[in-house]
Amino acid sequence: MLLSIKNLHASINGKEILKGITLDVNQGEVHAIMGPNGTGKSTLASVIAGREVFDVTAGEVIYKGKNLLKLAVEERAREGIFLGFQYPVEIPGVSITNFMRTAVNEIRKYKGLDPLGGGAFLKLMEEKKKLVELTSNLANRSVNEGFSGGEKKKNEIFQMAMLEPTLAILDETDSGLDIDALRVVANGVNKLRTKDNAFMVITHYQRLLDYIVPDFVHVLFEGRIVKSGTKELALELEEKGYDWIRKEQEGKGIAG
């Protein structure tokens, strides 16, 4: 088991967002996390990545046999957890090359490897740019500064390719993308899929799952996973809408 989440509760400023998440992810699997706005999808991603604004109030997260919640943000990243951001932040004046080189070499240092020299690093960048079909000279620009929505998301996928994570969490990577950009992003993910890594793809829409075919689909509602299934569940959701889930839950009397 790569990731095992048990009864995870998390809150922000005293408001509980995650109300008992349980989820297992194995290597080689792609899990889609779906659900309406404000149900805790991004919170789940943030908590796994270690964002400090969220307080974990109960439950446990075991990653590679370790208590993930005890690791610092950067330790989680160095252990192979990657978060593709929904809203990647701008860092003026810092080129993507410089940014990535710092990241790659810090991770290498953690693993006891020598830092990559300039030449080797640039070669790696070229390889990965090709892999994710990054044609523009994005790498020379400041991190996310003045990028279009599509460029920002492609840049996230490019960074994922550079860092070769074991567990990649993509937080609504499809939002704001036109169909071509969506395809580029999805192709990148598909090329990076191996039997050794796993993906958690957070999305609103079934659309992305036409390109990234998930092994499992989970529906998150009011801070809990209320339904799990295979890719067919996504199609059913697309057809019936989230109201279907809402009504079902209200029927159980736990909504609100």
Token pair 């598909």 is found at: 190
Q: Is 73 helix (H, G, I), strand (E, B) or coil?
A: helix
In the bound state with other proteins, the residue whose beta carbon lies nearer, of 89 and 179, is: 89
Identify the residue among 106, 210, 238, 248 touching other proteins (CB under 8 A): 106
Give the number of other CB atoms < 10 A from CB of residue 232.
9
Least distance (Å) between residue 77 CB and other proteins: 4
Q: Which of 31, 41, 78, 154 binds other proteins (CB under 8 A)?
A: 78
User: Contacting other proteins (CB under 8 A), which of 2, 40, 42, 99?
Assistant: 99
Select 53 or 179, whichever has its Cβ closest to other proteins. Answer: 53
Measured distance CA(89)–CA(109) in Å, rounded: 25
Alpha-carbon separation of residue 117 from 43, 106, 124, 130 (angstroms): 37, 13, 11, 20
Q: What is the DSSP letter of 114?
A: P
CB of residue 117 to other proteins, shortest distance in Å: 16
Query: Is 142 a residue that touches other proteins (CB under 8 A)?
Result: yes
Does the footprint of other proteins cover residue 213 (CB under 8 A)?
Answer: no
* Footprint (CB under 8 A) of other proteins, residues 151-190: 159, 163
d(CA 246, CA 46): 24
Q: Which of residues 17-76 bind other proteins (CB under 8 A)?
A: 49-51, 53, 72-74, 76
Instruction: By CB under 8 A, tell whether 83 contacts other proteins.
Output: yes
Of 158 and 216, which has the nearer Cβ to other proteins? 158
CA distance 48 to 57: 14
147 binds other proteins (CB under 8 A): no
Size of the site for other proteins (CB under 8 A): 32
Q: CB of residue 220 vs other proteins: minimum separation in angstroms?
A: 21
Q: Report how far Cα 104 is from the mean position of its chain's Cα atoms.
A: 18
Euclidean distance between CA atoms 16 and 156, whole angstroms:
29
Q: Report the run of H or E that residue 121 belongs to, with start and end.
A: helix 118-131
In one-letter notation, the amino acid at residue 188 is G
* 124: three-class secondary structure by DSSP: helix
When the beta carbons of 157 and 233 are compared against other proteins, the nearer one is 157
Interface residues with other proteins (CB under 8 A)?
Answer: 49-51, 53, 72-74, 76-78, 82-83, 85, 88-89, 91-94, 98-100, 102-104, 106-107, 110, 142-143, 159, 163
